[in-house]
Amino acid sequence: MNISMGSMKRKFEELMSVNLLVPFNVGGRPPLAFYDSELLGGTSNSTIPLLMRASMANTGVCRVLIDTRASFNIMYTSLFKTLHLTEKNHSPYVGNELYSFNGSSTQPWGCIELLVTFGEKEARKTIKIPFLVIDCPSLYNCIIGRTELAQLGAACSTAHLKLKYHAKDGIIASLNRDIEAARRCFL
The pLDDT tens digits of the residues spanning 118-132 come to 998 888 999 999 999
Query: In this predicted model, what pLDDT tens digit does every residue of 60-86 receive, in sequence order?
Result: 999 999 999 988 899 999 999 999 998
Region 100-117: what's the mean pLDDT?
86
User: pTM, whole model, 2 decimals?
Assistant: 0.80
Handedness of CA 24, 27, 28, 30 (dihedral sign): negative
State phi, psi for 175 to the nearest 5 degrees.
-95, 125
State the Cα–Cα distance between residues 93 and 87, nearest whole angstrom.
Answer: 12
Lowest mean pLDDT among 10-14, 21-25, 38-42, 155-159: 21-25
Q: Which residue has the higher pLDDT, 131 or 181?
A: 131
Degrees to nearest 5, angle at CA 42 with 60 and 53: 5
pLDDT, residue 20, reads: 45
State the Cα–Cα distance between residues 151 and 128, nearest whole angstrom.
Answer: 9
Closest CA to 141 of 48, 52, 63: 63
Q: Identify the structural domains of the chain with CATH numbers, from first to last.
A: 48-186 (2.40.70.10)
Three-class SS of residue 122?
helix
State the Cα–Cα distance between residues 6 and 163, nearest whole angstrom.
Answer: 31
Residue 19 has pLDDT above 60, yes or no: no
